[in-house]
């Protein structure tokens, strides 16, 4: 891994961290980095080039700012009446990344999927009033800029950033709309070059915007993008991301990231769709959101690019508007609204009511396949399924997971994978469950994105609180009773379960030695956060899984 991935932001922003320990990397059973090589380049023979087939990798883990501090991004941009770009895209992107977003509106536009019909610039004194209101009251971590339609607004923003220092400044140098309409006058360029860029931690121009920043230099290749990134870096920003989505004659979408020392070419398959309006705004907002959560710069960029790739692919066939620049779905939900099968909503705590956890040893004992065991459990009423197959070979486990996923989705039951994030990603499972010694929740969330379910095992209130901070959806609390399915597993009893449930801000599922004889006692501890029981042997170490599941469901219901 290149040394610059651990490069810190400016000291005034207070970031710190360390590389992901090796055992975290080993838990990713397939490589995310497809190739690493050193190239010479006209700019410098010492620059290291990393060409990456994009998969998100949170290569730097940062400590949260505060136990109770919510990551906060302030976006300073224009309003898009069509809802696809600008302030609207920023709000949706930050919400999708689970970050609070406040706004300062610089202009109000009348636009749709056809183009921009009108622009009404907000007077700079009112922009200043908005900035004063937010920055003087709310603890903003990161400021992200979009449409800055006048030189005076640029100057006002720079004054406030000096008065109210923030952790990072992300600048998306919006000059024109995606339909080609001019959104910023030529005088704004003076403000960018003279005042804003020297304060910027990352600037994210597309190839047209990069050309404008450099006085009209044409960019026609990845090599040109690298040259542009270096030249723009010389203008003052600490990091530069030149986006190649509009690069002609390229089968891949290649973005060039330059941190002042090394180049990284971030590569992903190009998505053929008209539904791409607002990708630039969204990408910059995602970067800002990840920085606000504590990610390193390169990690934030990679996570944001992956988010865009997934959203574009999901939204490629959406029909919103009649123009050529249609919006996409930030939440990956719109096209599933009318589907009658499969998961239609994000995580529902009530799914934890009867949580079935498979076991490879029990499957072999009773001569069942994983799929047969899962089918019997969901037919009996299991509300969520976790595949915990510690002894299975990766290829066999992946094939079985795909079959189990089809079964679960036909019943509308979520399917999670225990620990194996690589298998979860490869089969598109609904999420993962990790233990305290497995992959950190923050890293799992960064890799899986906001739409997947993440559960984590917890025995103490402190662990439950950390799970909430790190972005888990639920906690598995136990073992409540002694069990043979997990060696050296300390039990916490009903008192421990109650203590954790009282402290948890997340829904709780009890696990460990739970069966027909004690499930009622577990559910009757009287804690609202306790939503169900997770069971292994009481379902899968029985002659008839279907019957046992029905009996247990009737008891806990």
Flag whether 366 is in a domain: yes
Biggest CA pair distance of the chain: 78
Flag whether 505 is in a domain: yes
Do 284 and 396 have their domain in common?
A: no
Q: Alpha-carbon distance 205 to 229, whole Å?
A: 9
Give me the pLDDT at residue 445, please: 83
Phi and psi at residue 81, to the nearest 5°? -65, -25
Mean pLDDT of 444-449: 82
Annotated catalytic residue within 4, 315, 401, 457: 457
Do 365 and 253 have their domain in common?
A: no
| pLDDT over threshold 50, residue 366 | yes
Higher pLDDT, 249 or 431: 431
State the pairing for strand pair 252-258/263-269: antiparallel
Flag whether 321 is in a domain: no
Give me the pLDDT at residue 488, please: 67
What element of type H or E holds 239?
A: strand 239-242
Could you tell me if 421 and 455 are in contact, meaning their C-beta atoms sit under 8 angstroms apart? no
Higher pLDDT, 11 or 404: 404
> pLDDT grade, residue 388 (50/70/90)?
very high
Flag whether 182 is in a domain: yes
Burial of residue 214, with CB atoms counted within 10 A of its CB: 0-12 exposed, 13-18 middle, 19 or more buried:
middle
Taking the CA atoms of residue 179, residue 183, residue 189 and residue 192 in that order, the dihedral angle to the nearest 10 degrees is: -100
Give me the pLDDT at residue 124, please: 95
> pLDDT grade, residue 247 (50/70/90)?
confident
Sheet containing 263-269: order of strands? 49-53, 263-269, 252-258, 239-242, 202-203, 168-174, 142-147, 72-80, 100-111, 116-121
Give me the pLDDT at residue 146, please: 95
Which DSSP symbol is given to 183? -
Flag whether 331 is in a domain: no
Looking at 158-162, 292-296, 447-451, which range is the least confident one?
A: 447-451
Mean pLDDT of 373-383: 95
Do 241 and 175 have their domain in common?
A: yes
Do 350 and 414 have their domain in common?
A: yes
Do 280 and 358 have their domain in common?
A: no
Annotated catalytic residue within 51, 486, 542, 550: 486
Annotated catalytic residue within 238, 305, 388, 459: 388
CATH of the domain at 39: 3.40.1190.20
Residues 483-516: pLDDT tens digits? 876 666 789 999 999 999 999 999 999 999 999 9
Looking at 39-43, 61-65, 159-163, 420-424, which range is the least confident one?
A: 39-43
| pLDDT over threshold 60, residue 36 | no
Residues 79-127: pLDDT tens digits? 999 999 999 999 999 999 989 999 999 999 999 999 889 999 999 999 9
Mean pLDDT of 401-409: 94
Residues 300-316: pLDDT tens digits? 999 899 889 888 888 88
Mean pLDDT of 369-396: 92
Flag whether 330 is in a domain: no
Give me the pLDDT at residue 334, please: 80
Is 388 an annotated catalytic residue?
Answer: yes
Do 366 and 446 have their domain in common?
A: yes
Do 371 and 275 have their domain in common?
A: no
Q: Alpha-carbon distance 122 to 105, whole Å?
A: 7
Flag whether 216 is in a domain: yes
Do 491 and 430 have their domain in common?
A: yes
Q: Which tokens in the block code for residue 16?
A: 């710190």
| pLDDT over threshold 90, residue 176 | no
Q: Which residues contact 482 (CB under 8 A, 6 or more apart)?
A: 491, 512, 513
Percent of the chain predicted with pLDDT > 70 = 83
> pLDDT grade, residue 343 (50/70/90)?
very low
Flag whether 323 is in a domain: no
Query: Please, what is the angle between helix 461-470 and helix 441-448, to 10°?
Result: 30
Do 308 and 456 have their domain in common?
A: no
Closest CA to 381 of 350, 403, 359, 360: 350
Give me the pLDDT at residue 10, please: 33
Do 294 and 359 have their domain in common?
A: no
Over the chain, what is the mean pLDDT?
84
| pLDDT over threshold 80, residue 536 | yes
Q: Which residues contact 265 (CB under 8 A, 6 or more apart)?
A: 49, 50, 51, 52, 222, 254, 255, 256, 257
Q: Alpha-carbon distance 394 to 471, whole Å?
A: 27
Q: Alpha-carbon distance 353 to 540, whole Å?
A: 17
Which DSSP symbol is given to 80? E
Q: Residue by residue, what is the 3-state secondary structure of 57-126? A: CCCEECCCCCCCCCCEEEEEEEEECCCCCHHHHHHHHHHHCCCEEEEEEEEEEEECCCCEEEEEECCHHH
| pLDDT over threshold 90, residue 181 | no
CA atoms within 13 A on the CB side of 216: 1
CATH of the domain at 415: 3.20.20.70
Could you tell me if 414 and 351 are in contact, meaning their C-beta atoms sit under 8 angstroms apart? yes
Is 486 an annotated catalytic residue?
Answer: yes
| Residues facing 170 on adjacent strands | 144, 202
Q: Which tokens in the block code for residue 541?
A: 């170490």
Please give the tally of structural domains in the chain: 2
Q: Quote the domain boundaries for residue 65.
A: 5-315
Closest CA to 471 of 303, 297, 268, 241: 303
CB atoms within 10 A of CB 30: 10
């Amino acid at each position: 891994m290149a040394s610059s991935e651990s490069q810190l932001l400016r000291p005034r922003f207070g970031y710190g961290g360390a590389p992901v320990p090796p055992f975290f990397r080993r838990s990713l059973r397939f490589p995310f980095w497809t190739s690493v090589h050193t190239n010479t380049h006209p700019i410098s023979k010492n620059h290291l080039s990393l060409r990456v087939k994009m998969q998100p990798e949170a290569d730097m883990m940062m400590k949260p700012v505060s136990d109770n501090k919510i990551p906060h991004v302030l976006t300073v941009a224009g309003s898009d009446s069509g809802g696809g770009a600008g302030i609207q895209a920023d709000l949706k992107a930050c919400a999708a990344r689970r970050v609070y977003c406040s706004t300062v509106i610089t202009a109000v536009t009348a636009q749709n999927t056809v183009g921009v019909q009108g622009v009404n610039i907000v007077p700079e004194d009112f922009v200043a009033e908005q900035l004063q209101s937010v920055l003087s009251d709310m603890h903003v971590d990161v400021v992200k800029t979009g449409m800055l339609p006048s030189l005076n607004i640029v100057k006002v923003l720079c004054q406030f950033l000096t008065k109210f220092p923030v952790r990072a400044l992300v600048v998306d140098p919006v000059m024109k709309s995606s339909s080609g309409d001019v959104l910023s006058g030529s005088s704004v360029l003076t403000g960018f070059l003279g005042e804003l860029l020297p304060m910027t931690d990352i600037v994210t121009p597309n190839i047209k915007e990069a050309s404008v920043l450099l006085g009209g230099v044409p960019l026609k290749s990845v090599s040109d993008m690298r040259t542009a990134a270096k030249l723009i870096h010389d203008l003052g920003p600490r990091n530069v991301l030149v986006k190649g989505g509009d690069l002609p004659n390229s089968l891949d979408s290649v973005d060039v990231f330059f941190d002042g020392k090394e180049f990284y070419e971030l590569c992903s398959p190009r998505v053929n769709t008209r539904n791409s309006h607002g990708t630039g705004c969204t990408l910059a907002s995602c970067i800002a959101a990840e920085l606000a959560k504590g990610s390193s710069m390169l990690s934030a960029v990679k996570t944001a690019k992956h988010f865009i790739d997934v959203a574009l692919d999901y939204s490629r066939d959406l029909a919103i508007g009649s123009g050529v620049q249609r919006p996409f779905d930030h939440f990956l939900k719109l096209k599933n609204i009318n589907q009658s099968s499969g998961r239609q909503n994000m995580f529902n705590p009530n799914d934890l009511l009867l949580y079935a956890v498979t076991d490879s040893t029990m499957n072999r004992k009773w001569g069942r396949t994983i799929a047969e065991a899962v089918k019997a459990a969901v037919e009996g009423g299991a509300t969520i399924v976790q595949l915990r197959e510690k002894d299975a070979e990766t290829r066999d486990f992946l094939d079985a997971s795909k079959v189990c996923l089809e079964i679960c989705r036909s019943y509308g039951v979520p399917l999670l994978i225990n620990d194996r994030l690589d298998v979860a990603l490869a089969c598109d499972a609904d999420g993962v469950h990790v233990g305290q010694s497995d992959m950190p929740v923050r890293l799992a969330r960064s890799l899986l994105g906001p739409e997947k379910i993440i559960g984590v095992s917890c025995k103490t209130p402190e662990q439950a609180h950390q799970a909430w901070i790190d972005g888990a959806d639920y906690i598995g609390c136990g073992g409540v009773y002694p069990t043979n399915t997990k060696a050296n597993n300390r039990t916490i009893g009903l008192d421990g379960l109650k203590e954790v449930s009282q402290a948890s801000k997340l829904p709780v599922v009890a696990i460990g030695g739970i069966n027909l004889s004690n499930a009622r006692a577990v559910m009757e501890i009287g804690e609202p956060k306790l939503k169900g029981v997770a069971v292994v042997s009481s379902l899968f170490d029985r002659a008839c899984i279907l019957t046992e599941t029905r009996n247990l469901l009737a008891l806990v219901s």
